Structure 1
């Protein structure tokens, strides 16, 4: 397995670390996650393991797209995709600026949710993205129906710019600057 590319400690929940996805080794786990009913907004409900592996191999080969596995205290617990919105997802919809980075995240399905866990995950994601000094804004395009993620996005500083129509969904194009994110850190 690859080494962690980012690690942070949450005072209440422990260590969160992030490593690149290994498509061959991680496919069984990722297949369970992305086909779970709670992952409906990932649009992979009917995918078989071979299709999931093919998708993560495609991402690994793409110079403008990355996938990372997030671990909580050493156990796989979340998935992150990072992309360049000038080349993926929002081409022709969002006028990407230098320093813009796009992001998706998914927490692993669980039968026993931990209070504050998903907030800690999105905080980890944002800290990882802003750890790169070249990142100035994080751009997301969540499905307009995904009310849970809208609340999380707002909590870490995202502001909705407008509603956009993408091939698979209507989405709220939202942006969070480094300063907007840092302003929320005292509210955790």
Structure 2
């Protein structure tokens, strides 16, 4: 039996906006998801948002499973086409990422760090991924600590239409050095 933090316990599946809409709604409207800026969204709003992502050639969303149960959301995108267009000089091999851990009444110490580690490992499984790019809100200190724990370094503060963010990068080597993850 796997432990709650066993990396082998994490898997990913494509997100289905209609089937997963209600589940996602509970996650993105929870107070802990304030930085997702979807607190006032209805289930239909969430479904529409993720239908747009599903239809987008350069933006993808997946449900992360822990021991087969939905536990987190992962989005990955081409930052030269989505989210960061014109805000930095994208390189070939850059992949943008967002993640959100589902709210729980029984938190497990270290679970969120295990999730971001699994997300990063999943992104780096693609040999074309050279570096992961994130743009968290400057006020999201919890995610800044998690990002640093898996190797991200803040490059600069940027102004996005919806927030001020820290543009941060993590190369494959930085991820492996920070986490000791197998190559």
Scaled by the length of structure 2, the TM-score of the pair is 0.95
Q: Distance in 1 between matches of 2:88 and 2:58?
A: 16
Residues 5 and 111, structure 2, Cα contact 8 Å, conserved in 1 = no
Q: How big is the shift at 1:185?
A: 2.1
| Match status 1:70 vs 2:64 | yes
- 1:173 aligned to 157, 167, 177, which one? 167
Query: Does residue 156 of structure 2 align to residue 183 of structure 1?
Result: no
CA distance in 2, matches of 1:186, 1:24: 38
Q: For 2:70, what is the secondary structure of its paired residue?
A: strand
Distance 2:42 2:109 in 1: 31
Aligned length: 179
Could you tell me how far apart the structure 2 residues matched to 1:72 and 1:103 are? 19
Determine which of 31, 39, 51 is the counterpart of 2:25: 31
Matches within 5 A, 1:38-49: 38-49=32-43
Under a length normalisation based on structure 1, what TM-score does the superposition of the two structures give?
A: 0.92
Shift of 1:100: 0.2
Q: How does 1:1-150 map to 2 (within 5 A)?
A: 12-13=5-6, 15-150=9-144
CA distance in 1, matches of 2:121, 2:4: 15
Residue 115 of structure 1 aligns to a residue whose secondary structure is coil
SS at match of 2:107: coil
Q: Does 1:157 align with 2:151?
A: yes
For 2:3 and 2:139, how far apart are their aligned partners in 1?
A: 29
In structure 2, how many angstroms separate the alpha carbons of the residues matched to 1:90 and 1:12?
32
Offset from partner CA, 1:72-123 (integer Å, 9 cap, x none): 0011000001010000111010111000000000000112210110011000
Contact 1:10 1:120 in 2 (8 A): no
Task: Calculate the aligned-residue CA RMSD, in Å.
Answer: 1.4
Post-superposition offset of 1:12: 4.1
Larger strand proportion of the pair = 1
Give per-residue Cα distances to partners, 1:112-168, cap 9 Å, x unaligned: 210110011000100000000000000000000000000000000000000000011
